[in-house]
Chains A and B, each alone.
Chain A
Amino acid sequence: MAFAIQFVIDVLSLGGAYALMALGLVIIYGILRLVNFAYGELIMVAGYTMFLASGSGLPWIVMAVLAVGMAIVFGILTDYVAFRPVRAKSVTAVLITSFAFSNLLQNAALLFISPRPRNVPLPDIFSQTVSIGGAITPVRNLITIAASILLLAGVAFLMRRTTLGIAMRAAATNFTMARMLGVPANLIISSAFALSGFLAGVVGILWIGRIGTVVPGVGLEPLLVAFIATVIGGMRSLPGAVVGGFLLALIDTTLNYTLSQDLLKFRDAFTFSLVILILLWRPEGLIRGPASGQRT
């Protein structure tokens, strides 16, 4: 029983974080049909903001809000630097500019801060553990579950009930038509980037809370997770991203428990092989999104 609870909590907390990561990526992809390679660096930005703010003596929650704010600012900056100037040109051009921007941010952190890991301030609650039905769990896993439920519900509400969300979904379905009906394109794209940055900021705090330190390459793993989750779930569908995130967490956690120590090192390789199998079966991903319209 204790094992089952442990397993479920592990899957849910990892899956929640994965789902949020994937969601942040898909929100951009859904509207622009473009992959944001600099997404992982938004998580890095949140981490370094926490590190830089740690000397200020502010209460932790203020620092966290500041970190999320910076992630939003950099999300919008990504739009202005890497996407807007080349949006109307080729898909490859935008992939390359976002890849270049990701490299730019990483190396800027390397140059101006340090290549070595930096400590991030965390409240005590992140390192405490509780016992639920015999299973000993770090409280931060429960926080992650709670935060992801809240945020997923929040995003669902935003997308379904608010004008902004409906406009965003309209733009994702048929961008040209949405523009003709008076949806302001640049505003929608910028808000998508802001939302993506917001999710990245929150995930950043939760994710870095697991490790406790931040390095320039910290964004790579979340980026990869988001990539794989979105490919499994279906690139164009928001529920697909969430499903993909939880499924990936299930696969990862199962492998964590079943593989021997020698094979565990190759976990990523196993996960990816499963992804190939899923793609063989369903090249479009598990959940199909809306029929695609033309980009920009």
Chain B
Amino acid sequence: MKHSYVTALILIGVIAAIAIGSQLLGIRLYDRISTNLLISLVLVVGLQTFMGNSGLLSFAHIGFMGLGAYTSAVLTIPSQMKGMALPDLYGFMKVVEISPLLALFAAGALAAVVAAVISYPLMRLSDAASVITSFALLVVLYTVMNNWSAFTNGPRTLFGLPKTTDMPVAAIVASIVVVVALVFKESRTGKLLRASREDEVAAAALGADIPQLRWRAFILAAFIAGIGGALWGHFITSFAPKAFYLKETFLIITMLVIGGANTVTGAVAGTILITFAYEALRGTEGALNATSFGAGQVVGLTEIVLALAMIAVMIVRPGGLFPNREIGHILTRTRRKKEIVA
């Protein structure tokens, strides 16, 4: 148990270091990148609570992020702006305007409720069928966001969200989410779920109700994704449904998988690593475009490099950077070993 506390301390320390470090440098761009990093961290750790513990790949996560972002948007856009931002909104919703903090929870709650209803039958599926249905779920959520103009302004950009997410808020939420993920991992549900990940038949024989366990994890993951979406929405302040689709899905899955899906440490490490790689590659792409020797716009280079990195990691280290043990576990083990030697 003790090593979980160590892990929590170290990971929160890392988050604090990123937050304070970027503040000290005082460059706006770094502030932006690290806030983005912390929001990604919320999403990736959220995905880890389901994917890491159940061992099932889920593509729907970003869809729930979108749900959260739109919920929070509808609830917080000032009522005098709603006529412009969401012209088709239903009458009774036009007067609603709640504080962003409350909206954050509402966003998480709505995503969790939707996930609970939709995913209940899906959790019986394993392996490929579960992956496929989660992929289809992403497409359905995207279709709904793209077409339900009353709430989302259709495929057009929705604007007018109050900018309430800044670095400290993102850092606090990220720390809480990391702790929640660690607590869930060590809880009874988390442990049984991990047992089912290692061996479905054996876990079921021990009396684990696997669909039920997966369902709980999925709801938790959707809740965190909804919160992450609301955070992101209030950071970026204007977005369109296409922000919640395959490209983002690819990015957060890359982060989780390269870091190591089975551990919270892996999720954090992967997010940090890929955010820096992504920003560096984007910078390179931008520089290439600025020189623009005839060939036109350079697009997609970042994704190509990330895809190659992902394939390489899967071949060399299929479990990611932290495949089994949390950082606290690794440290306490090495210390104990030294004590035994001494």
* Residues of A participating in the B interface, judged by any CB pair closer than 8 Å: 29, 33-35, 81-82, 85-86, 89-97, 99-101, 103-104, 106-108, 110-111, 115, 220, 224, 227-228, 230-231, 235, 265-266, 268-269, 272, 275-276, 279-280, 283, 285
Is the CB–CB distance between A92 and B307 below 8 Å? no
* Residues of B participating in the A interface, judged by any CB pair closer than 8 Å: 55, 57, 118, 121-122, 124-125, 127-129, 131-133, 135-137, 139-140, 143-144, 146-147, 246, 250, 253-254, 257, 261, 298-301, 303-304, 306-308, 310-311, 314-315, 318
Apart from A81-B311, A103-B250, 13 more pairs, CB < 8 Å: A29-B128, A35-B131, A99-B253, A104-B307, A104-B311, A111-B299, A235-B129, A265-B143, A269-B143, A269-B144, A272-B137, A276-B121, A285-B129
Is the CB–CB distance between A279 and B133 below 8 Å? yes
Contact of B314 among A33, A34, A97, A227 (CB under 8 A): A97
- Closest A-chain residue to B247, C-beta based? A103
Q: Which 9 A-B pairs have the closest CB atoms?
A: A107-B300, A110-B300, A104-B307, A265-B147, A107-B303, A100-B310, A100-B307, A93-B318, A111-B300
Contacts of A101 in B (CB 8 A): 307, 311
With contact pairs A110-B300, A235-B128 given, residues A272 and B140 touching in the complex (Cβ less than 8 Å): yes
> CA separation between A29 and B128, bound complex, in Å?
9
CB distance from B240 to the nearest CB of A (A): 16
CB distance from A142 to the nearest CB of B (A): 30
CB distance from B325 to the nearest CB of A (A): 17
CB distance from B289 to the nearest CB of A (A): 12
- Closest A-chain residue to B154, C-beta based? A265
Contacts of B57 in A (CB 8 A): 92, 95-96
Give 27 A-B contacts (CB < 8 Å), ordered by A residue.
A33-B127, A81-B311, A82-B311, A85-B315, A86-B318, A96-B57, A97-B315, A100-B306, A100-B311, A101-B311, A103-B303, A103-B307, A104-B303, A104-B304, A107-B300, A107-B303, A108-B300, A110-B300, A224-B135, A224-B136, A230-B132, A235-B128, A265-B146, A268-B139, A272-B136, A272-B137, A280-B121
Contact of A227 among B136, B147, B310 (CB under 8 A): B136
- Closest B-chain residue to A217, C-beta based? B246
Contacts of B147 in A (CB 8 A): 265-266
- Closest A-chain residue to B124, C-beta based? A283
> CA separation between A204 and B144, bound complex, in Å?
27
Contacts of B135 in A (CB 8 A): 224, 227
Is the CB–CB distance between A231 and B132 below 8 Å? yes
Contacts of B253 in A (CB 8 A): 96, 99
CB distance from B209 to the nearest CB of A (A): 15
Contacts of A81 in B (CB 8 A): 311
Contacts of B304 in A (CB 8 A): 104, 107-108, 111
CB distance from A47 to the nearest CB of B (A): 17
CB distance from A194 to the nearest CB of B (A): 21
Contact of B125 among A97, A104, A283 (CB under 8 A): A283
Contact of A231 among B129, B146, B315 (CB under 8 A): B129
CB distance from A211 to the nearest CB of B (A): 18
- Closest B-chain residue to A108, C-beta based? B304
> CA separation between A231 and B136, bound complex, in Å?
11
Prevailing SS type, chain B contact patch: helix
CB distance from A172 to the nearest CB of B (A): 14
Is the CB–CB distance between B143 and A266 below 8 Å? yes
Contacts of B306 in A (CB 8 A): 100, 103
Q: Which of A35, A91, A101, A107 has the most CB of B within 10 A?
A: A107
> CA separation between A288 and B268, bound complex, in Å?
41
Contacts of B146 in A (CB 8 A): 265
CB distance from B314 to the nearest CB of A (A): 5
> CA separation between A170 and B85, bound complex, in Å?
59
> CA separation between A101 and B303, bound complex, in Å?
10
Is the CB–CB distance between A231 and B299 below 8 Å? no
CB distance from A63 to the nearest CB of B (A): 26
> CA separation between A283 and B132, bound complex, in Å?
13
Is the CB–CB distance between A93 and B314 below 8 Å? yes
With contact pairs A35-B132, A97-B311, A227-B135 given, residues A115 and B143 touching in the complex (Cβ less than 8 Å): no
Contact of B131 among A82, A85, A95 (CB under 8 A): A95
> CA separation between A268 and B136, bound complex, in Å?
9
Is the CB–CB distance between B298 and A276 below 8 Å? no
Is the CB–CB distance between B300 and A276 below 8 Å? no
Is the CB–CB distance between B318 and A89 below 8 Å? yes
Contacts of B121 in A (CB 8 A): 276, 279-280
CB distance from B194 to the nearest CB of A (A): 14
Contacts of A230 in B (CB 8 A): 132
- Closest B-chain residue to A84, C-beta based? B315
Contacts of A106 in B (CB 8 A): 300, 303
Is the CB–CB distance between A99 and B143 below 8 Å? no
> CA separation between A269 and B250, bound complex, in Å?
22
Is the CB–CB distance between A276 and B118 below 8 Å? yes
With contact pairs A92-B55, A275-B136 given, residues A110 and B311 touching in the complex (Cβ less than 8 Å): no
Contacts of B139 in A (CB 8 A): 224, 268, 272
Is the CB–CB distance between B257 and A96 below 8 Å? yes
Is the CB–CB distance between B250 and A99 below 8 Å? yes
Is the CB–CB distance between B143 and A268 below 8 Å? yes
Q: Which of B298, B307, B308 has the most CB of A within 10 A?
A: B307
CB distance from B287 to the nearest CB of A (A): 16
> CA separation between A14 and B127, bound complex, in Å?
28
CB distance from A235 to the nearest CB of B (A): 6
Contact of A115 among B131, B250, B299, B315 (CB under 8 A): B299
Contacts of A34 in B (CB 8 A): 128
CB distance from A94 to the nearest CB of B (A): 8
Contact of A92 among B124, B140, B261, B308 (CB under 8 A): B261
Is the CB–CB distance between A90 and B125 below 8 Å? no
Is the CB–CB distance between A110 and B299 below 8 Å? yes
> CA separation between A5 and B125, bound complex, in Å?
38
With contact pairs A104-B308, A224-B135 given, residues A86 and B140 touching in the complex (Cβ less than 8 Å): no
